[in-house]
A and B are shown apart, each in its own frame.
Chain A
Amino acid sequence: MAEKPSIAIGQVMENRSVAPGHFLLTIRLPLSFATPIPGQFVMIRDPDRDEPLLPRPISVYGFQREEGHAILNLLCRVAGRGTSLFSRMNRGGALTVLGPLGRGFTIDPDVRQLLLVAGGVGAAPLTFLLQEGSLPEPHSGKRQVTAYLGAGTAELLTGLNRFEGFCDLRTATDDGSRGYHGNVTECLALDLAGYDAKSTLILACGPGAMIRSLALLLRDTRIRCQVSLEERMACGVGACLGCAVAIQEGEGRTGYRRVCKDGPVFDIGELLWNSPEESMSLS
C-alpha cells in the first residue's frame, strides 16, 4: 500500500550532467516525505519562478533516508523548457516536490525471472527497483533479474553503473557502439524463447516506439509485462484528466485512464492499439 503523498520544499544537494542532455538531481527532503514505490513519480517545480507554470512529472530514480533527511534522486532528460531549467539548477536551490504519486510496479511473489527493459532515460524507474530493499522477496528460492538497456549510443546508456553487478545485463545501441547493434526490443526478442512464460515478469519503461514494439513482440506470448508510461500532466493527482491513455476495459469496452493516478504503470495488454502498429495514445 502506497503511503500518503505530501508537498515538500526540497533543496538541491547535487545537480550533475550524466550524459548529453541527461542530468541527475539529488534533492534533500524532510524525513516525513513518504517512501516511494518503484514506478511512482513526483511533480517538481521551481518555487522561485512564475513560469513555467506547471510542475513536471519525473519518476523516482533513487530514495534513501539518512541523517534526519530523505534523499531523492531524479534522473532526467532535457525534453523541453521545464526540464532544461531544472538541468541548470544550482546546489542549494529550492524545488517544490509533490509526491510520491501514482501506482508503481507490482511484483507477484511467484515471479522467478524478472526482466527489466528500458529505453534511454526509461532506465530511471527500473534502477530504483534494484535499490536495496525495493524488490519484494520471492516465495521460495532465488529470483533472477536480467536488464535489457537500450539507447541511441553507448554514452546515452544512463545509470549503467546502477545495473552492473546488481543483475545480468544486456545492452543495445542504435549505432552499435555498445552491445547489441539495434533496438532493445530486438535484443530481448533474441532471448525471449529461453524464458519460462509462467514465472517471468517484464517491467518496461521507454519511448512510445519501444512500448509499441514490445507489445507486438509479446502479443502472442503469455509473458506478463507492466509498462510505465510518460504523458504531459498538469496536476499529477488525478484531477485534471490531462494525461489520458486509451485502455481496453474488457468485453470490447474502451476508455481513458489517467497516467498519473491509474498508472503510470499499466499492464501492456490493457493498452489500446488502433492497429498492431499504431496506438491511440502513445506518441
Chain B
Amino acid sequence: METDKNTVVPGRLVVELCGLALKNPVMTASGTFGYGEEYAPFCDLNRLGAIVVKGLSLEPRLGNPPPRIMETPCGMLNAVGLQNVGVRAFIAEKLPFLRQFNVPVIANIFGETIDEYRRVTEILTRAAGVHAIEVNISCPNVKKGGVAFGAHPDAAAAVTEAVRGETDLPVIVKLTPNVTDITEIARAVESAGADAVSLINTLTGMSVDIERRRPHLANVTGGLSGPAVKPVALRMVWQVVRSVQIPVIGIGGISTAEDALEFLITGAKAVQIGTTNFIHPAATMEIIDGIEDYMIRHRIGCMKDLIGSLQIVF
C-alpha cells in the first residue's frame, strides 16, 4: 500500500518493544532523568517513548562519598554508587507522579544478591504503573555487586532467570561494556529468558588531579559516559544485534537525533538518552523531533523500515 510519506503520519515513530507500544523509540537512560519529576519543567513527559527511572534496590542506599563526578574530554565520570530511595519509597513517593502521564515507566533494578533482584522484581510487579523491568547487572561502582553478575555469562543468566521467574512484565537486561566479549553475555541472558537487552552501561574509567596527586573521584574509578563513548557503544550494539534474536536498545553518548539514528540504523529498536539530559534538559524532545524530520526527509513511513537498515556495501 502506498502512503504519502511527506506528511506527518501519527504513529510514524511508533515502535513495538516487548509488547509495549512506544510512541517513539526515545527513552531516558536510568540515573540521568531522576524519577521524571526533575525534568518535568523542561520536557513534555507524555512525548517520551518511555521513562527509565533511577536504579532501585530493595533498601535505600546512601551512595558513595563525594566527589562523585568529574568532567573528562567529551564525557564525564561518575561514581554515585547507586544512591536511591529504595523500591518501597519509589512506589509510595515517586510512582504516583509518573502515573499521571501516558508514558510507559521502566523500573531499573539492581541487587547485591540474586535474592535481592528477585524481591525487588516481586515488589515492582505488584505495583500499578510499572510497565517493564530493566535489570542492571553492570554497574561498575559497587564493589560487591554489579560487575560480578554482568561480567560472567553464568552469573548474568542466573540473575535474568531469577527476575524472569518473578514477573510477567517485560524483562530488559542492561549490559556492561567492561567485558571481553559482550555478545557472549547477550546470548546468555537471551537464553535465560530476557525479552530485550539494553547497552551499553558506562565504561569504567579514572582521572587524576596531578596537583594534589589524588584521584578526582573519592571512589577512585567511575563510569564514563557522554559523547566520548558513542563509537564504542555503537560497535557493541552492532555486534549484539547480529548475535541475538531479542530486541536491542542502544545507549551510549547519544546527544542528537543524528546520533540516535546511527543506533537505529545499526539495528537498535529503541535508544536511551543519558548524559545529554544534564547538558540539554530538553534534549529528548529535540531528538524525537529530529528523528521525525529525518523520516519525512528520507520518505520513510515507519520505524520498521529504518531499524537495522544499515548497508555494508562499498
Asked whether A6 and B66 contact (CB < 8 A) given A54-B279, A256-B83, the answer is: no
Q: Does A52 have its Cβ within 8 Å of any Cβ on chain B? A: yes
Q: Does B236 have its Cβ within 8 Å of any Cβ on chain A? A: no
Q: Does B145 have its Cβ within 8 Å of any Cβ on chain A? A: no
From A50, A98, A235, A241, give the contact of B83 (CB < 8 A): A241
- Which stretch, A109-117, A161-169, A220-228, A242-250, touches the partner chain B? A242-250
Which positions 45-79 of chain B face chain A at CB distance < 8 Å?
Answer: 54, 62-71, 73-76, 78
Q: Does A234 have its Cβ within 8 Å of any Cβ on chain B? A: yes
A6 to B78, CA, bound (A): 26
A233 to B66, CA, bound (A): 11
> Contacts of B80 on A, CB cut-off 8 Å?
240-242, 244
- Which stretch, B31-39, B147-155, B165-173, touches the partner chain A? B31-39
* Count of A interface residues, CB-CB < 8 Å: 36
Q: Judging by beta carbons under 8 Å apart, are B76 and A234 in contact?
A: yes
From A54, A237, A244, give the contact of B76 (CB < 8 A): A54
Q: Does B204 have its Cβ within 8 Å of any Cβ on chain A? A: no
Q: Mark A27-65, 1 if CB is under 8 A from B, else 0.
A: 000000000000000000100001111110000000000
The dominant DSSP class at the B interface is loop
A261 to B63, CA, bound (A): 17
* Count of B interface residues, CB-CB < 8 Å: 35
A241 to B80, CA, bound (A): 7
Q: Judging by beta carbons under 8 Å apart, are B76 and A256 in contact?
A: no
Asked whether A50 and B74 contact (CB < 8 A) given A240-B69, A241-B83, the answer is: yes
Q: Does A280 have its Cβ within 8 Å of any Cβ on chain B? A: yes
Q: Judging by beta carbons under 8 Å apart, are A232 and B32 in contact?
A: no
Q: Does A267 have its Cβ within 8 Å of any Cβ on chain B? A: no
Which positions 257-314 of chain B face chain A at CB distance < 8 Å?
Answer: 275, 277-282
Q: Does A137 have its Cβ within 8 Å of any Cβ on chain B? A: no
Q: Judging by beta carbons under 8 Å apart, are A281 and B66 in contact?
A: yes
> In the assembled complex, how far is the CB of residue A236 from the closest CB belonging to chain B, in whole angstroms?
8
> In the assembled complex, how far is the CB of residue A53 from the closest CB belonging to chain B, in whole angstroms?
6
> Contacts of B38 on A, CB cut-off 8 Å?
235, 237-239, 261
Measured CB to CB, the residues of A under 8 A from B are 4-7, 45, 50-55, 82, 98, 231-246, 254-256, 261, 280-281, 283
Measured CB to CB, the residues of B under 8 A from A are 31-34, 38-39, 41-42, 54, 62-71, 73-76, 78, 80, 83, 226-227, 275, 277-282
Cβ-closest 10 pairs across A and B: A242-B69, A239-B34, A235-B278, A234-B278, A239-B38, A241-B80, A244-B66, A238-B38, A237-B38, A242-B68
